Structure 1
């Protein structure tokens, strides 16, 4: 006689030995945390706290920043600073959105057009605008000496020893008699000196300036190349019948275009204008000249693009200039104006208001698009933000420290979020909810500029300069639902956590059963041995979630999950 037997319930133990950071989705992978704060993947596969942030004092609300040769330049209001020393005043209002670009020896502030020479400390402006109530115009030679003895007539003069200004042609032509040709031939290029006190101040040789107000001399108004200049005048190519005084408001202006985003590439500044839907480049090596067209390889460059919509950002990447709109990328090819070409790729561009998210990390470009965070290596953008979940973000500001991409974004409700993307391992972590207005890197260190004006130095490896590890802020990490992957009847028995918790640090383990409230299961304090095995015995449940929280340093090495599994009937 045999009695029916009962099959024993099997017990399984699963281990998590790799911690995968932040994954804000309904069913995150084992080893991921649905939500967390002040957690880092810097010691992957071990989970630890983020590095300390060391206060650098208050910047006074720095706005635009730029680092050149390890020196920080920044703006505050209407002032430009080199480290903590004011070096220039800015002409535009303090509310203007500024950019600082390094080009050669210069540090240039846009849209003000103020230029600082970092080698000799001089300051000047890219734009020039000089006016005069009256000017003297004089026909002259290339060496600026005036023509004084010539005949002005519509017919050839009998005296062949003098020059003849032929008014019978349009435009008029200065001629000299050639004994070999036995005829009157044109003199090469003639020039006109335009002089008045201060009219040429700030203008340089071969600048292109816009001249206006010369009534009766239409050929001398408009964009003119300067062939000689001093404080009291300029010389341009042209011809007049005789020296004269011209009254009115005469203006000589070296214009600076209105550009929304600026970048430097191959010794030129490049910019884009939403006002004209143009891409612009300055003259080679000369950021003061944007309308120089002499037929040379050094000329300025301008082109109107057909892609609709506003420009949202610009960056130099792998030797190319990239301009972005929200739905496309414009890439510039070529080495000189005669062979420049624009290639348009319809793809995820930069989100409006997230132009500061454009950051290069390890030869890859990262930025915030209208729908996600992407990486770009020269082909098409690829999403890297699946782990951030179904949350819409905007107004991204980013930086790079130690091979990691740090990005501050805001939710649709205006809540601040700071994330870190571990480029090497492809993992995200969430740091905290502070508001950051800018990131910058200097001498291998990373800094964040806070909304309240303070500056914090970032230490992503979790160590302080004196070698001590630690974090004063509170940290926490919350798993998703554990146990939902098993379809048969089961219940979770316990968790075992191997953590490193030194003296002065604490950790509390909380458990949530079957979507209930969080219940404190265990609190442990660090000891001299530092390495602890923390057992957490559970109530019978279908699934559970863990929340680890604490203060000070900790490292989470692995976790064992013990579960009893039965049949298909629950």
Structure 2
């Protein structure tokens, strides 16, 4: 019996094009990058180099950089520098908290401010303490003609009647005063001495600095000062654990309390006069310590490891707090917090997260559960950069927020990074401050792709791999392959510009898995890999 023959259009050799998917350690991801350095997602889904960099400044032992108002504040050894000029020296440069407000950059725990509004930076202390052996004189409810209103006025004198000057204090400063004598008696009938006023706001200072005034009837009834007694006037700034700026206020946490400075004034944290520019404080009852805080478009977010407290509102009278039990910032990762396109990015327990005001989303699934040892993060117009160790040494990872892919920007030894005028600046341990996207650097970069392993290797036999790429300028390209876990062998090399697209054939050896690595210099774009294979039967024939 003769059976009919059916024609088939199936070719014994089949083709499959693979496009690249960024850094991804998950198994079975075609086109994933397993390792590399200096590549970017700028031409995604093609592989291409990062932008060139150039050195813009050099320092001795830099540890921190903060861009603000068109300049750079750098911690160099124990020196604090603004645009290369030493402003002061710091005794302790560990765990610095830095933020900008108006024309000032504030530094904690030193409680210093650098005013950068002028041609020369001006150093200020956030706190102010005045003390001495003094007598005082109070004029209650006295009219001040220049101000057109009544005040409680206070003058102080030394033993020889020399006036005490209230230098360093300003109108609207909320201060504490100790050493006054209150017109009252204790249980034994003795007059109370050394009364301390915890918080009172200065509303008037005489031009000669010899007299300060408070709202009328705001001072308690004081008895006349006798012999000079120790007196202290102090503007207090809290010792904060976390710090950020939002809507012209400094926000911070102190223990389990959320606090905010007075509006536009980083020196006053204890003003509670019922006005819109007052300070603010609220306690929370959730477990654990605060790990970070940051500004989000509609609110200020305060992070613990598993909780986010959100403060909404425009002034103390209408501030309200909403809390959510979600992944927060892991302990020690406060510097990874950065904003890109209105989204907060940070390292939390279990990965890297994107917070859009609702529930944080994990964006580090491509890391396949690898442990992340974070150092710092910085945001640009489109990318979130994270300097961390994910198992193969410290590297600057780049997450493209529009394309949702990771890449390895560089493996330099960095201490900090910042963003200014559309450029990212990297601070290296060797003292260089590098500007990205500038200069004539011929970038050296390399990429190792995920091994080609179909999971059922006996059912496919690879005939040829065709790599499609372009080379411009003074560029070089080398292609290496390896069988299984064997040694790398170079199978192709080229240099110089090529006007047309290059098609590079690679003939693999028979193996269960095949590794491919590209080593490039300069402007090389690798578009895709086409795999030609013969599909075998289930019996291997």
Equivalent runs, 1:408-557 vs 2, <5 Å: 408-411=387-390, 415-459=393-437, 464-465=438-439, 471-473=442-444, 475-486=445-456, 489-502=459-472, 504-529=474-499, 531-557=501-527
Q: In the alignment, what sits opposite 2:91? A: 93
SS state at 2:366 partner: helix
Q: Which deviations, in whole Å up to 9, do the C-alpha atoms of 1:59-81 show, x marking residues without a partner?
A: 33444443333232333355443
Structure 1, unpaired ranges of 5+: 146-187
CA contact 2:396–2:409 (8 Å) conserved in 1: yes
More displaced, 354-363 or 214-223? Answer: 214-223
Tell me the equivalent position of 1:352.
331
Distance 1:300 1:2, change over 3 A: same
Tell me, what secondary structure is at the counterpart of 1:290?
coil
Structure 2: distance between partners of 1:34 and 1:78: 40
Partner of 1:229: 205
Matching of residue 209 in structure 1 with residue 175 in structure 2: yes
The residue correspondences of 1:281-430 to structure 2 (distance < 5 A) are 281-411=260-390, 415-430=393-408
Conservation of the 8 A alpha-carbon contact between 2:451 and 2:514: yes
1:142/1:203 Cα in 2 relative to 1: closer, same or farther (>3 Å)?
A: farther
Q: How many residue pairs align between the two structures?
A: 512
Change in CA separation of 1:555 and 1:265 when aligned onto 2, cut-off 3 Å: same
Q: CA deviation at 1:14?
A: 0.9
CA contact (8 A) 2:151 2:213 kept: no
Q: What is the CA deviation profile of residues 176-228 of structure 1, one whole-angstrom value per residue up to 9, with x for unaligned ones?
A: xxxxxxxxxxxx98555444555522112232211123464455543233343
CA distance in 1, matches of 2:117, 2:151: 38
> Where does residue 116 of structure 2 map in the other structure?
118
CA distance in 1, matches of 2:418, 2:48: 24
Shift of 1:556: 0.6
Distance between the aligned counterparts of 2:515 and 2:2, measured in 1?
Answer: 44
C-alpha separation in 2, matches of 1:128 and 1:66: 25
Aligned equivalent of 1:280: 259
Greater mean deviation of Cα atoms: 448-457 or 375-384:
448-457
Aligned to 1:162: none
Q: Which residue of 2 aligns with 1:19?
A: 20
Query: Paired residue for 1:174?
Result: none
Counterpart of 1:81 in structure 2 is: 81
Question: How much is the aligned-residue C-alpha RMSD, in angstroms?
Answer: 3.0
Displacement after TM superposition at 1:392 (Å):
0.5
The answer to whether the Cα contact below 8 Å between 1:132 and 1:199 also exists between their aligned partners in 2 is: no
Residue 260 of structure 1 is matched in structure 2 by: 241
Distance change >3 Å, CA 68–CA 142, structure 1 → 2:
farther
Q: What secondary structure does 1:311 align onto?
A: coil
The CA distance in 2 between the partners of 1:80 and 1:241, in whole Å, is 45
The question of 1:132 aligning with 2:138 is answered no
What is the CA deviation profile of residues 390-429 of structure 1, one whole-angstrom value per residue up to 9, with x for unaligned ones? 311123311233511111002479x312211111111111
Q: What is the CA-CA distance between 1:291 and the residue it aligns to? A: 0.8
Judging changes above 3 Å, is the alpha-carbon distance between structure 1 residues 250 and 219 closer, same or farther for their aligned structure 2 residues?
Answer: closer
The separation in 1 between residues aligned to 2:358 and 2:222, in whole angstroms, is 60
Deviations along 1:431-469, one digit per CA (max 9) or x if unpaired, are: 33223222111211111111232211112xxxx55xx6x
| Equivalent position SS for 1:374 | strand
1:349 Cα deviation (Å)? 0.8
Alpha-carbon distance change, 315 to 61 in structure 1, aligned in 2, over 3 angstroms: farther
Task: Report the Cα distance in structure 2 between the residues aligned to 1:389 and 1:35, rounded to whole angstroms.
Answer: 14
Structure 1 runs (4+) deviating above 6 angstroms are none
Question: Given that residues 153 and 211 in structure 2 are in contact (C-alpha distance below 8 angstroms), is that contact kept between their aligned partners in structure 1?
Answer: no
Whole-angstrom CA distance in 2 between matches of 1:42 and 1:114: 40
- Quick one: distance in 1 between partners of 2:152 and 2:410? 69
SS at match of 1:501: strand
Which of 230, 244, 259 matches 1:249? 230
Structure 1 Cα separation of the partners of residues 481 and 434 of structure 2: 35
CA distance in 2, matches of 1:528, 1:479: 24
Max Rg structure: 1
Give the distance between the partners of 2:531 and 2:164, measured in 1 at CA. 83
Alignment of 1:37-76 (within 5 A): 37-76=37-76
User: Do the aligned residues in 2 keep the contact of 1:514 with 1:544 (CA within 8 Å)?
Assistant: yes
Distance 1:497 1:244, change over 3 A: same
Could you say which residue in structure 2 is the equivalent of 1:142? 142
TM-score, length-scaled by structure 2: 0.86
Q: Please list the CA deviations of residues 333-356 of structure 1 after superposition, one character each: whole Å capped at 9, or x if unmatched.
A: 122222222211111111222212
TM-score, length of structure 1 as denominator length: 0.82
Distance 2:320 2:77 in 1: 38
Counterpart-to-counterpart distance in 1, 2:125 and 2:164: 16
- 2:78 and 2:484 map into 1 onto residues whose CA distance is 58
Q: Give the equivalent residue in structure 2 for 1:177.
A: none
Deviations 1:276-320 (A, max 9, x none): 321111122222111112222222111111122222111111041
